Amino acid sequence: MSWSPAGKIAVVTGASSGIGHATAGRLAGAGMQVVAVARREDRLAELAATSDRIVVHAADVSDTAQVDALAAFVEGEFGACHALINNAGVGGGAFNGRDDLDDALRTIDVNLLGTIRCAAAFADLLGRSAPSRMVNVASVAGKLGIGPAAYAASKFGMVGFSEALGLSWASRGVTVTQLNPGFIETEGFPQKHMKGGPQERLLGTPEDVAEAILGALVSGTPERTVPRFYRSFVALRHLAPPLYRAVAARMGRASGSRD
């Protein structure tokens, strides 16, 4: 069943820059009332000035009380939530030992546990607003274990959480999508290592992801990869594991870094 965005209420986390910023603008342009969420209030104020369909709410998804307060705000102001876009995330660095533990735990706390906190806080409201959507912005790194280990772990967790929740929440009228971007150039992920060479053609933009999120909301697909050609890498991982590992081992990111 198609789902029209016009007039519906959407919550977008991580909206102060990059994918979240582009998504808030795209959904507002499609006629949705958007609650844009992030920690940086100055950036949120700039975003709110771009559309009368965007209101802002400062919150840190690693703080359960702030996430609960966000859900209470949305219910109090709008009485519904038809779409929850869990996009807030951090990149994290290489994991080489004890000195990297705090960074790894922070990465998992924001990316994975932040998504779980938001899902928990909005569960009842999404159910009462059905048919509704939850889109979890994971990553191709949630399918291919290359790069910073904690980041990959957080995104693998998001993929599994999304798949399981999609099955269990279907009866409540809530569709859950795992949205898996490939290399996307943003403020937090400048992708400098891909510039100036043949790999640059693999880069996508925040606007590409925002369009894919809107498409996932309308179609209710359980899984979406953007840019779409990254699906071939995921297929290689499952259909020809030895070949995949041989190729992956030659990549710079096999060192566990973002280089």
**Four-residue CA torsion sign, 41, 47, 50, 56:** negative
Structure tokens at 12: 């977008």
Is residue 139 classed as helix, strand or coil in its secondary structure? coil
CA distance 254 to 232: 19
Task: Determine phi and psi for 39, rounding to 5 degrees.
Answer: -85, -30
Active-site choice (95, 122, 151, 169)? 151
151 flagged as catalytic: yes
CA distance 77 to 73: 6
Please answer whether residues 144 and 234 qualify as being in contact, where contact means their C-beta atoms are separated by less than 8 angstroms.
yes
CA distance 118 to 104: 20
Calculate ∠ Cα 218-191-12, nearest 5°. Answer: 30
The one-letter code for the residue type at 54 is I
DSSP secondary structure string, 177-201? Answer: EEEEE-SB--SS---GGGTTSGGGG
Q: What amino acid positions are annotated as catalytic residues?
A: 151
